[in-house]
Structure 1
Amino acid sequence: MNKTFRRSFTGKWRGKLRLYYVDGSGFTIAPCVPYGWQHRGKTRELPATHSKRLNVLGFMSLDNGSFFHTVEGRVDSKTVMAAFDAFAAQYEADCAQSKTPCFVILDNAPVHTAKRFWANAGIGCRWGICLHFLPTYSPELNLIEILWRKIKYDWLPLDAYRSYKDMVEQLLAVLAEFGKKYTITFG
């Protein structure tokens, strides 16, 4: 935290803090079967398919506030930095008005721990954004995982998987309505 950040929130903060959980998830129309059951001696086969992939980097708060950054193809530290920069630019205005700092909770994915990412990460503290890492191998602590599960298994209809175009359109519609039509209640 830099001194300007501490000075601007002292006294006005009064225990307020925004938490955003960050993670990415990939969406494709190719099925993913990580494991299966079969009789001994019998072989189950699935035809191999390939599909384009839409990756979504998401920032989600406990009150269903959100920010999403989508990218087709590979996600690297440059992509993650672009998402963080876009989130920080949006949060800057909120922070200036509300004087409420923000903690961004993220996992230890290689793109989050890369030197290139950390060289850029300090700029967020100017806007009241600080980073906090979860313990390694603890995806259950990253609450945005609930969002990805809800989208993939509850909110995206089966006909979204007819084509890549249909999936992208319906996924973007769900993301646009998150916090309004689609919500998650955290106990």
Structure 2
Amino acid sequence: MVFSDATILTQTPPLRACWSKIGEQAEVPITGNRDHRVVFGALNARTGAVWLDEAAQWNQDAFQEHLRSIRSWWRGWKLVLVVARGSPHTAKRSRQLAAQSGIEMRFLPTACPELNSVEGLWRHVKGRVLANEPTPDLSQSLGRVHDELFQMTPTQHLRLAGVLSGSFWLPA
């Protein structure tokens, strides 16, 4: 079983904490630049292996490329892919490609991101790796996301994703 999700990196950083002297307004530089990158992530819930793809947009073409990438990475595996009900996932062409590739798609209930284990990885990356950096360079941010996730062990991936918790929603 593989969980998949996407997150969007922007040049407006996720702000988690900001310090300033008492009585002074904190300055938060914002560029107004709307450039962004989409990072697709896949987590194998059994092994803890992680696969990342990047795209310029979150659309069905980018998701279908992610499906091809997942299939090539986990060649020969019987894959059950757990995703949200976003339009790129539920699009007819995406479902057809998954079926042709031997990927069985399972859709999570609407508005339940906490059920997708990849969300725990995104929460970690945005809260610990990318937070509070004024006007980040997107290429550097993508590199830091890759470095952080690929330097972790599979057990660390599963722990951050909540799979190893005693209250994980999916039975073993």
Report the TM-score range of the alignment, normalised by the length of the smaller protein: 0.7 to 0.9
Equivalent position to 2:32, from 41, 46, 49: 49
Report which of the two structures shows the higher radius of gyration computed on alpha carbons.
1
- Larger helix proportion of the pair: 1
CA deviation string 1:94-132 (max 9, x = no partner)? x3xxxxx3311111001111122122121232xxx3211
AA partner of residue 50 (structure 1):
N
How far 1:23 sits from its partner (Å)? 0.6
Partner of 1:21: 3
Partner of 1:8: none
Deviates more, 1:176-185 or 1:57-66: 176-185
Equivalent position to 1:111, from 64, 85, 88: 88
The SS at the match of 2:101 is: helix
Cα gap change, 1:164 to 1:89, in 2 (>3 Å): closer
How far 1:147 sits from its partner (Å)? 0.7
Cα gap change, 1:83 to 1:155, in 2 (>3 Å): same
Partner of 1:98: none
Q: Tell which has more relative contact order, 1 or 2 (C-alpha 8 A, sep 6+).
A: 2
Deviates more, 1:57-66 or 1:80-89: 57-66
How far 1:165 sits from its partner (Å)? 3.5
Q: Is this contact kept in 1: 2:14–2:127, CA < 8 A?
A: no
Cα gap change, 1:135 to 1:157, in 2 (>3 Å): closer
AA partner of residue 12 (structure 2):
A
Q: Distance in 2 between matches of 1:169 and 1:142?
A: 23
Partner of 1:151: 125
TM-score, normalization by structure 1 = 0.68
Q: Is this contact kept in 1: 2:43–2:51, CA < 8 A?
A: yes
5+ residue gaps, structure 1, are 1-18, 34-44, 96-100
Cα gap change, 1:103 to 1:163, in 2 (>3 Å): same
CA deviation string 1:56-108 (max 9, x = no partner)? 1111123421111111x212111111110111012114x3xxxxx33111110
Q: Distance in 1 between matches of 2:31 and 2:136?
A: 17
5+ residue gaps, structure 2, are 16-27, 166-172
Cα gap change, 1:22 to 1:104, in 2 (>3 Å): same
Q: Distance in 2 between matches of 1:46 and 1:163?
A: 14
The SS at the match of 1:92 is: coil
Q: Is this contact kept in 2: 1:64–1:178, CA < 8 A?
A: no
Equivalent position to 2:115, from 107, 125, 141: 141
TM-score, normalization by structure 2 = 0.73
Q: Distance in 2 between matches of 1:177 and 1:134?
A: 29
1:83 matches 2:98: no
- Equivalences, count: 148
Q: Distance in 2 between matches of 1:180 and 1:21?
A: 14
